[in-house]
Structure 1
Amino acid sequence: MSRDKNRIITIANQKGGVGKTTTAINLATALAAIGESVLIIDLDPQGNASTGLGIQRRDRRFSSYDLMMGTHTIDTIVHPTVVPNLSIIPSTMDLLGLEMEISRQSDRVFRLKKALGTPEALAYSYILVDCPPSFNLLTMNAMAAAHSVLVPLQCEFFALEGLSQLLETVDQIRQSVNPQLDIQGIVLTMFDSRNNLAQQVVSDVRTHLGEKVYHTLIPRNVRVSEAPSYGKPAILYDLKCAGSQAYLQLASEVIQRERQRKAAA
């Protein structure tokens, strides 16, 4: 079965606190708002994407752990969200033990890819995988299953150093388990226009990586930070705030890049 009928995008950065989950939730919401059918797979044991979309821990009877273990399929785990066209496979702390449970299995890196090679997965035009802030077996599974990696990058001093490590990881995955994997794009987050260092980081990243960097800058925004505590994406919590508007622009760029990719194929 062809996997080109949908687009699987892994959202990853081994550094925490860069806006990875916020990007996953709000990009997914923006894509859903323009009519795309979107699924988020929460692969982070902390489960912040699940909480941020209003899925209470007591309601997570089954989770991405069960999907990875092969005991349940997407249709028996998936939860609808407050956003039309957006569903999520939630996370639980069970994921913490998954690496030990499957580490000796020959298919340990391909568990997620196998789970997404089903008719249920093909019902979604976009699948976004929210990874933990580390490079472990969960992240490897996400990259092995994905068509591309989207990298949120905080506008701070050590940004380029961490980015080079991540790009090396993507290259290793491409060479070893997933030849089709590429960089979907790099999105600069937590941008403060009043901060000269942030301006310099933007300039440096664009100089080094050119067109791989999205034009949209995601600003630091209080309303975006508040939204998860209400179990809502920022785009639903406050559509007009600067952060929400930036994520809508980012979604437009993602769609545009997909059109260009398809045209060039």
Structure 2
Amino acid sequence: MTGEDTGAARVCVTNAKGGTGKTTIAINIAGALNERGRDVLFVDVDPQGNATEGLGLVEAYDREPPSLFDVLTDHESRHLINDLIVEHEEMDVLPSNLDLLHAEQELTIAHLIAQLGDNRAGVEALSSLAINVEPEGINTPHALGALDEAFDELETAYDYIIVDSPPFYGRLTETSIFATQNVVVPALTEATSERAIELLIDQIAALEDLAGITVNTVGVVANRVEQTNEDLMMVDWLNEVFAGHPVWEVRKRVALQRAFSAGTSIFAYEQSVDMEEVFLDIAAEFDEQFGYTEVTA
């Protein structure tokens, strides 16, 4: 069963605050979708490659060019996305790469070139600082379309594309959100999360204004929840801030980290984890929101 449109549903798992368990959440959402019979492409846009490592693909992270860096920064290399995809037992993976450490600068140069418009001298000066970015590859005022254009080059049909964004807010994250226009927000249930969530909301609003898009919040994952007053208060706060959106609670479980270390989601891990039901609930909500009506697993 396919979704309501002909393309894959795209979702970015994002929070600019590090340490939220964002990558673990993203991998297990992808694993839960696979459990429901969905074909999933997992995309690791984090230059640190945590998801790539967590899926047992360290060799791909160290691979020689071309890599995801080239796909994002060279407009003539978008089609190479198909050559970079690696098979995993639960999903296909577009791995991160060491070279992505340079992507933030490249995408910033692209954005500045787009802002300069017809200022030829300025454009040439900026182009001289770039590794791959060329002015002729920039056709919008914001230059955020690199990942979106690459997805359009995919030769394999997927039900879902799950993007794990960097744990900071910058051009890579904006490019990821622009390409998906749907977000899942992981958050720790501690007071320090409040400011990070408020900033993320503001940053997404600014992106919507810049790019003329509307970003849908699919839901929020309260992660590593324990039975303390602070945790309970934060869950209430998340439900208030994201009123009208589902807020799922993932309890703190060692097995989640063990599955990550084993290179799988909890669904392919040898030990059963009681949080499986939560991630299956998330996957079911995805299917409802994106128009998939049958479980095929």
TM-score by length of 1: 0.88
Shift in Å, 1:239: 5.8
Q: Distance in 1 between matches of 2:89 and 2:212?
A: 34
Q: Is the 8 A contact 2:42 2:161 kept in 1?
A: yes
Give the aligned partner of residue 88 of structure 2.
Answer: 81
1:34-183 correspondence to structure 2 within 5 Å = 34-57=36-59, 61=63, 62-70=66-74, 71=77, 73-83=80-90, 86-105=91-110, 106=114, 107=138, 108-120=143-155, 123-183=157-217
Give the aligned partner of residue 255 of structure 1.
Answer: 287
Q: Distance in 1 between matches of 2:48 and 2:198?
A: 25
Sequence identity percentage: 28
Q: Is the 8 A contact 1:44 1:130 kept in 2?
A: yes
CA RMSD across the alignment: 2.1
Match of 1:22 among 13, 21, 24: 24
1:208 correspondence with 2:241: yes
Q: Distance in 2 between matches of 1:164 and 1:142?
A: 19
Shift in Å, 1:60: 5.1
How many pairs align? Answer: 254
Q: After the TM superposition, which parts of structure 1 deviate over 3 Å for at least 4 consecutive aligned residues?
A: none
- Which AA in structure 2 matches 1:87? D
Moved more, 21-30 or 50-59: 50-59
**Gaps spanning 5+ residues in structure 1: where?**
261-265
1:225 correspondence with 2:225: no
TM-score by length of 2: 0.79
**Gaps spanning 5+ residues in structure 2: where?**
115-137, 293-297
Higher relative contact order (CA 8 A, sep 6+): 2
Please give the secondary structure, in 1, of the residue aligned with 2:109.
coil
The structure with the larger Rg is: 2
Shift in Å, 1:175: 1.3
Q: Given the superposition, is the C-alpha separation of residues 63 and 244 from structure 1 closer, same or farther in structure 2, using an over 3 Å criterion?
A: farther
Q: Is the 8 A contact 1:219 1:246 kept in 2?
A: no
User: What are the Cα deviations for residues 208-264 of structure 1, in whole angstroms up to 9, with x where unaligned?
Assistant: 3222233x311110000111221121221146312333212221222223339xxxx
User: What are the Cα deviations for residues 103-141 of structure 1, in whole angstroms up to 9, with x where unaligned?
Assistant: 3323342111111122426x1111111011101111011
